[in-house]
Amino acid sequence: MEGQLSLLIQLQEIDTRIRSHREQQKRLPILLAELENRRAASKADLDKVKEALQIAQKNKRDRDGDLEAGVQKVEKLKTRSSEIKNNKEYQALLKEIEGGEQENKSIEDSILVLMEKIDAAAAQITAAEQRAIDEEAAIQAEQQQYHAAAAKLDEELKAMEQGRQAAMTNIEPSVLDKYQKLLLTKSGLAMVEARGESCSGCYMSIPPQVFVNVKKNASIINCPHCNRILYVKEAIVQNNP
């Protein structure tokens, strides 16, 4: 039975590595999805500053139109001066012209502000475009790493599966069946070490007589708490120099 325990330990080590590799495989799509989220965020950042530029440019065009209309209005008012018949009408016309010119001055000031916004937005676009280029290069490099890692995991898993098949050939069917069932029900950990009279699977204390029997490696002994197969690695190593 000691030989069976040694084979089961080897099988458990292989299964643990297989489980770890499969967990890594599961994480790869998540990591790749995160890269796509980064790519989308980078594009959204660039689109946002481009939209800000477009809005500023449209507002400037609108204000340019307002200014042109305002200038024309003032010019028309000025041409009416020859039609004035009395001082009261003249003063009213001057006041209207002054109001129009003040309004035009206010529009000119708003156009200057918009021009500053346009310049700032253009600079932000340049910076955002460079960030997008740098981010895309980083994303592509990470994608290549993940795809290479996926290919390596696939290759290693195939080798492990072959090793697993070889390890099972010399294990007694009844023993292997118990192991396989535990592997499925105990989160991939069917065999655990008994350390210091405690199970390293559930961390519960092992009764002293049970621990004595475990150290003998003479039979398959299950943890009385979690039912995993127990073994003392040092004892097996000593008996298999």
d(CA 163, CA 16): 13
**Number of helical (H) and strand (E) elements in the chain, helices listed first:** 5, 3
**Whether 189 and 118 share a structural domain:** no
Is residue 191 in a domain? Answer: yes
Would the pTM count as exceeding 0.75? Answer: no
Residues spanned by the domain of 194: 173-239
Query: How many structural domains are present in the chain?
Result: 2
**Whether 76 and 161 share a structural domain:** yes
Is residue 12 in a domain? Answer: no
Domain final residue pick, 147, 168, 189: 168
**Whether 71 and 124 share a structural domain:** yes
Is residue 11 in a domain? Answer: no
Indicate which CATH number applies to the domain containing 64. 1.10.287.1490
Side-chain half-sphere exposure of 190, counting CA atoms within 13 A? 23
How many CB atoms neighbour CB 8 within 10 A?
A: 22
Is residue 2 in a domain? Answer: no
Condensed to tens digits (0 to 9), the pLDDT of residues 121-174 reads 999 999 999 999 999 999 999 999 999 999 999 999 999 999 999 999 999 999
Q: With cut-offs at 50, 70 and 90, classify the pLDDT of residue 82.
A: confident
Q: Which residue has the tokens 């400037």?
A: 60
Please check the confidence at residue 60 and state whether its pLDDT lies above 90: yes
Look at residues 226, 147, 162, 153 and name the one whose alpha carbon lies nearest to residue 193: 226
Query: Residue 227 is which amino acid?
Result: N
Q: Mention every residue, 6+ apart, whose C-beta is less than 8 A from residue 139.
A: 35, 38, 39
**Whether 124 and 225 share a structural domain:** no
* Cβ atoms of residues 228 and 189 within 8 Å: yes
Is residue 5 in a domain? Answer: no
Question: For residue 56, what are the CA distances in angstroms to 62, 116, 117, 122?
Answer: 10, 9, 6, 10
Domain final residue pick, 118, 153, 168: 168
Domain final residue pick, 139, 168, 197: 168
